[in-house]
Structure 1
Amino acid sequence: MKRQWTGWGAGQQPEPHYLIQPRHLAGGGDLRHVTEFLRASGWKDKSTTGGRIVFDSTDRTVRVGYDPFTQPGGWTISGKPTAQQDAWHAALGRQVPVEIVAGFTDALTQTRSAHAPNVWAPLQQQGWGTERDRHFTATSPDGDAFVQFHTSSTGEAQWFAGARTEHGRTWDATFTPTTPLHLIQAFTTALADPQPVMRPRGHVPPSHRIRTTSVSVLPSELSAWQQARVTAARTATWARNSWATTRPRRTPTAGPYAAPGTRARR
């Protein structure tokens, strides 16, 4: 017997939505696309009712926040210094599509790949042009979005990204030089994804530079799509926790140069 999500029923009516391309001009979207994935991944919800959204990672080294009240507001993601990583910070404007924000924040919950990250590869694979002078810049095929590795006159490096329409700059994103590159690659992968994103009627940006396709969606379909994403996060979290608690522990063996009474480094 198939499970029925809340809202399924014979009397439900389809709701008008729009598929929007390119995704970098689709507008902010539903914040729950980001927050419910973090919650399902075991992150602690520290938000206040009617206030800022705040989520802390399970080890309390990373915080994701969203502030709708101040200017410019938007997303802030910060990592505390650890033995392996310097402190870092990322700021993404409130009009960065949640699907692109999620590319970055989802990666925070996942095991880091052993492969060396390449921020530019996802952009080049989708036909983004690149230009190198004092900085290195990748520009979307429509010319309305960019990613730049910027070096100041003092030698300080920083990552920037942004998008614009005929009305001006739509959003900006900045990443400190210490931001882990695999997270920035996750961001550029989501940014360059050619798949459209969906917005409900009344939430389509007023721009002639976007392409829209009208679709009718049942509330049950929306619920099922959202639940599938949450279920994927819960499953991945359970698998990681299960592996961490059941894998055999190795007894460290003292090496030939270990000092008496110390444990050899692994």
Structure 2
Amino acid sequence: MRRKQRQDWPAGEQPEQHYLIEPRALAGGGDIRHVFAYLKASGWQDKTNKNAPLALRSPDRIVQVSYDPYSQPGGWTIHSAATDQQAEWRARLGQRTPVEIVAGLTDALTQPRSAHAPHVWAPLSEQHWQTGHEGPHYTATSPDGAAWLHFRRGSGDRAVWWAGAQDEQGNGWTAKFTGATPLHLVAAFAAALASPEPVMRPRGRVPHSTRIRTTSVSVLPSQLGAWQQARITAARAAAWARNWPAVPPRATIRRTRFPFSGARR
């Protein structure tokens, strides 16, 4: 079987050892391009200054996503300015927050709101998280006790969402969302946090913890590139679909003709 597998590998390519990690909340930070490449493909503008945190701004200039690898505690900051329909809000996520969970929130920033009221706790309950009241607060804890999401009640800006994960050695991450954070974004974050799907990390980037389960896999660089490109392509297609109604009819006709004339040449 191994000889046959090696014969099927493309010439000049060697497989790289990776690991599928469960639960995803304890997988470690991962490659931040998973977040930033998707936002760029969705039309977000790079606002990074020299020797400053990486930063992208939404096309409407209302929301900014930044990542600080230099200072402590560093990590992710998502900030939205106030609008006529929405109060200012902010979210902070630690450096060790898995990028797949961060993307649950940031991907949702590029998508229109659903007409249905979001249910933050539904994806957690579906994965058998323990939910309930702690006095005036509401909490949810993963079945293994490693991850949590809390809503701390308070008046005005004192209400917060608090999430995180921690292994048996105390290593992990935390995230805080101000009370004005739109519920559909918190719900998207909760769904990514509770997802049972494992995440992949390369050899040497697997946390040392007895609470995680790993599965070794051999992956070709071309496969990794194809998976990353598929995500970027999906972001571009969604952005194009959102902007399509705003394109004038004449401009649309010229753009659809141009590739065909080029193909003829």
Q: Indicate the TM-score class for this superposition, using the shorter chain for normalisation.
A: 0.7 to 0.9
Does 1:82 find its partner at 2:83?
A: yes
The one-letter code matched in structure 2 to 1:185 is: A
Partner of 1:189: 191
Instruction: Confirm or deny: 8 A CA contact 1:37 1:106 kept in the other structure.
Output: yes
Partner of 1:220: 222
Instruction: Confirm or deny: 8 A CA contact 1:20 1:210 kept in the other structure.
Output: yes
The one-letter code matched in structure 2 to 1:137 is: T
* Post-superposition offset of 1:51: 3.5
TM-score of the aligned structures, taking structure 2 as reference length: 0.87
**3-state DSSP of counterpart to 2:216:** strand
**3-state DSSP of counterpart to 1:168:** coil
Moved over 6 A (4+): none
Structure with higher helix content = 2
Q: Flag the 1:15–1:49 CA change in 2: closer, same or farther, 3 A.
A: farther
Partner of 2:261: none
The one-letter code matched in structure 2 to 1:46 is: K
* Post-superposition offset of 1:46: 1.1
Q: Percent identity?
A: 62
Distance 2:141 2:49 in 1: 38
Distance 1:170 1:131 in 2: 23
Aligned pairs for 1:1-266 within 5 A: 9-49=10-50, 51-134=52-135, 135-152=137-154, 156-245=158-247
Larger deviation, residues 194-203 vs 46-55: 46-55
The one-letter code matched in structure 1 to 2:128 is: G
The one-letter code matched in structure 2 to 1:17 is: H
**3-state DSSP of counterpart to 1:225:** helix
Residue ranges of structure 1 left out of the alignment (5+ in a row): 1-7, 248-266
Instruction: Confirm or deny: 8 A CA contact 1:162 1:169 kept in the other structure.
Output: no
Q: Matched residue pairs, number?
A: 240
* Post-superposition offset of 1:16: 0.2
Q: Flag the 1:153–1:57 CA change in 2: closer, same or farther, 3 A.
A: closer
The one-letter code matched in structure 1 to 2:28 is: G
TM-score of the aligned structures, taking structure 1 as reference length: 0.87
Residue ranges of structure 2 left out of the alignment (5+ in a row): 1-8, 250-265
Superposed CA RMSD: 1.7
Instruction: Confirm or deny: 8 A CA contact 2:129 2:141 kept in the other structure.
Output: yes
Distance 2:87 2:74 in 1: 25
Distance 2:67 2:157 in 1: 31
**3-state DSSP of counterpart to 2:247:** helix
Distance 1:139 1:169 in 2: 17
* Post-superposition offset of 1:190: 0.4
Q: Flag the 1:137–1:79 CA change in 2: closer, same or farther, 3 A.
A: same
Larger deviation, residues 44-53 vs 85-94: 44-53
Distance 2:170 2:128 in 1: 23
Instruction: Confirm or deny: 8 A CA contact 2:76 2:92 kept in the other structure.
Output: yes
Distance 1:83 1:153 in 2: 21
